[in-house]
């Protein structure tokens, strides 16, 4: 059975829903890479991280993501010129999602703290890039579920292409261009974001 799971930014200006959620149709993960942690720091969201500085994310098909309110608040940054597109709500600097530069890869790593209820996504199945975890109590010692994450991404992507929905994405327009131009943060902001 599928569920629709709602989400919102911290101030409630931007709201949305992920449609037809099942554990098999998503990947519930914690990413410990320095880039995701730097993004959280830049957005003032360190308190939302898991022990060890892990970013709580849910990978879903972008076609299932609907922005129902506040789409004009969508903003995008990159931590470096070739970094991921990191989408956020400009009204309150709430992270929204991570995507690659192109809508050809149907992937959105949604920021889990925005969801009202995460039960429909199932338990966390992946801990990634744990070698970059901070030395804190509760931090994982090794990666878990990376093959499952990659396999799920491939399976979901193929299904989306077969269904003709792979290029449907609230963060890209019909021509495949970002709905807002990604801004690369300044060197000073980058240094501050990566300072542990």
146-155 pLDDT, tens digit each? 999 999 999 9
Q: Quick check: is 196 in a domain?
A: no
Q: Quick check: is 194 in a domain?
A: no
CATH number of the domain within which 22 lies: 2.170.150.70
For position 133, what pLDDT does the model report? 97
For position 2, what pLDDT does the model report? 84
Report the number of distinct structural domains present in the chain.
1
For residues 151 and 21, what is the distance between their CA atoms, to the nearest angstrom?
18
Q: Quick check: is 195 in a domain?
A: no
Locate tokens 């240094």: which residue?
A: 191
Q: Quick check: is 59 in a domain?
A: yes
For position 163, what pLDDT does the model report? 95
126-145 pLDDT, tens digit each? 999 999 999 999 999 999 99
Tokens of 96: 């929204």
Q: Which domain holds residue 163?
A: 3-189
Q: Quick check: is 146 in a domain?
A: yes
Judge residue 195's burial from the number of C-beta atoms within 10 Å of its C-beta, 0-12 exposed, 13-18 middle, 19 or more buried.
Answer: exposed
| Spatial contact of 34 and 194, defined as CB atoms under 8 Å apart | yes
- In the chain, which stretches have pLDDT less than 50? none
For position 1, what pLDDT does the model report? 76
């Amino acid at each position: 059975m599928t569920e629709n799971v709602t989400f919102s930014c911290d101030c409630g200006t931007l709201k949305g829903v992920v449609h037809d959620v099942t554990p098999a149709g998503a990947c519930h993960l914690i990413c410990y890479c320095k880039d995701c942690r730097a993004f959280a720091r830049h957005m003032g969201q360190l308190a939302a991280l898991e022990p060890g500085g892990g970013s709580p994310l849910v990978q879903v098909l972008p076609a299932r993501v609907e922005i129902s309110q506040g789409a004009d608040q969508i903003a995008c940054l990159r931590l470096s010129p070739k970094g991921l597109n990191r989408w956020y709500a400009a009204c309150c600097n709430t992270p929204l999602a991570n995507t690659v530069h192109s809508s050809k890869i149907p992937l959105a790593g949604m920021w889990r703290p925005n969801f009202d209820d995460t039960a429909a996504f199932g338990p966390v199945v992946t801990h990634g890039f744990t070698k970059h975890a901070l030395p804190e109590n509760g931090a994982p010692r090794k990666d878990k579920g990376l093959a499952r994450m990659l396999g799920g991404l491939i399976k979901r992507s193929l299904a989306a292409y077969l269904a003709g929905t792979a290029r449907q994405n609230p963060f890209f327009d019909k021509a495949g261009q970002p709905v807002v131009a990604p801004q690369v943060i300044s060197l000073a902001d980058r240094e501050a974001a990566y300072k542990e």
